């Protein structure tokens, strides 16, 4: 199993890292724009760090359908925040949720350590940006659909096999482009290009992704498949389902967990840590 290295920190197999979500969007499905303002977003980062987040994932575009956000507007929303967070939290691992190479270039220069490409390589130049700056990349499976779309009646012969084949191909392509192998994660991207059945199937078989040796990131926090599985619960009532899915994912070997509630995630993962006899990620610098 690969040791994950980001910003001089190491996350070894059996250790968990928490990635807190901070969205500078006016229409986020979860916080409804609560952290759209610059100061509100900065305070949310401070809160996440205080709650034990190892990574903060900053986003400037809502994942689902909505108002058009062009690259210039996305950069306006995230670049200054990345720079401010880097100055305020020098040791924090900063991730930016973007599929655009031109955005990745600006945020990498501003201090980002990881580009979280949740739309699965739609811009092939994004890996080159990560390589040029020596930073990490998340390789996700979004069903080969266009960003911010909800595909109708999407189908797979074997969704888990498709997820594994696609994400590992992206990861190897990123290595070939020059991205450090130890700074690449793969992500099944629950609900992206998938229905609830698909997301549940990937969750049950997450251990197969883990067995590839690539560090696995899961982003299941308050997602639609959780709500639908629990009888159609709204976003604000999906917390228990989120924690259960995190626990199942952690038990199977997932390494990084993208969440809206860092404190609860850290508590839940601490239980899994004790049960498995492993440890939550501790501050560790890479040996030169």
Query: What gap in Å lies between CA 207 and CA 213, rounded to an integer?
Result: 10
> How high is the pLDDT of residue 27?
87
For residue range 107-156, what is the model confidence (pLDDT) as tens digits? 999 999 999 999 999 999 999 999 999 999 999 999 999 999 988 899 99
pLDDT at 283 over 80: no
Mean pLDDT of the region 161-171: 98
All structural domains of the chain with their residue ranges:
15-276
> How high is the pLDDT of residue 288?
37
Query: What gap in Å lies between CA 182 and CA 59, rounded to an integer?
Result: 23
> How high is the pLDDT of residue 282?
60
For residue range 251-268, what is the model confidence (pLDDT) as tens digits? 999 999 999 999 999 999
- What are the b/e assignments for 15-47, b being 16+ CB within 10 Å? bbbbbbbbbbbbbbebbeeebbeeeebbebbee
Higher pLDDT, 57 or 31: 57
For residue range 179-234, what is the model confidence (pLDDT) as tens digits? 999 999 999 999 999 999 999 999 999 999 999 999 999 999 999 999 999 999 99
pLDDT at 278 over 90: no
For residue range 44-53, what is the model confidence (pLDDT) as tens digits? 999 999 999 9
Query: What gap in Å lies between CA 136 and CA 271, rounded to an integer?
Result: 28
Query: What gap in Å lies between CA 39 and CA 278, rounded to an integer?
Result: 37
- Domain 15-276 belongs to what architecture? Alpha-Beta Barrel (3.20)
- What are phi and psi for residue 44, nearest 5 degrees? -65, -40
Mean pLDDT of the chain: 94
Q: How far apart are the first and last CA of the chain?
A: 20
> How high is the pLDDT of residue 69?
97
Cα 90 → chain centroid: 20
Q: Using 50, 70 and 90 to split pLDDT, how confident is the model at 284?
A: low
> How high is the pLDDT of residue 1?
75
Least confident of 21-25, 49-53, 275-279: 275-279
């Amino acid at each position: 199993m690969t040791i994950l290295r980001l910003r001089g920190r190491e996350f070894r197999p059996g250790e968990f890292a928490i990635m807190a979500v901070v969205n500078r969007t006016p229409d986020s499905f979860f916080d409804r724009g609560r952290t759209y303002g610059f100061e509100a977003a900065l305070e949310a980062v401070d809160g996440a760090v205080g709650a034990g987040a190892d990574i903060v994932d900053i986003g400037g575009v809502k994942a689902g359908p909505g108002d058009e956000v062009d690259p210039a507007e996305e950069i306006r929303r995230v670049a200054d925040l990345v720079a401010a967070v880097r100055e305020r939290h020098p040791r924090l691992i900063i991730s930016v949720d973007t599929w655009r190479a031109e955005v990745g270039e600006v945020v990498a220069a501003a201090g980002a350590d990881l580009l979280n490409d949740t739309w699965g390589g739609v811009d092939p130049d994004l890996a080159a940006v990560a390589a040029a700056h020596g930073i990490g990349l998340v390789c996700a499976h979004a069903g080969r659909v266009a960003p911010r779309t909800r595909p109708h009646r999407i189908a797979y012969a074997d969704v888990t096999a498709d997820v594994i084949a696609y994400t590992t191909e992206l990861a190897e392509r990123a290595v070939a482009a020059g991205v450090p192998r130890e700074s690449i994660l793969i992500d099944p991207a629950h609900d992206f290009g998938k229905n609830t059945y698909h997301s549940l199937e990937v969750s049950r078989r997450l251990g197969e992704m883990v067995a590839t040796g690539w560090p696995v990131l899961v982003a299941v926090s308050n997602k639609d498949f959780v709500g639908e599985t629990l009888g159609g619960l709204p976003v604000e009532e999906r917390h228990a389902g989120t924690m259960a899915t995190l626990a199942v994912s952690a038990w199977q070997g997932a390494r990084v967990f993208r969440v809206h509630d860092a404190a609860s995630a850290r508590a839940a993962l601490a239980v899994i840590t004790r049960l498995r006899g492993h440890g939550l990620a501790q501050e560790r610098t890479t040996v030169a």
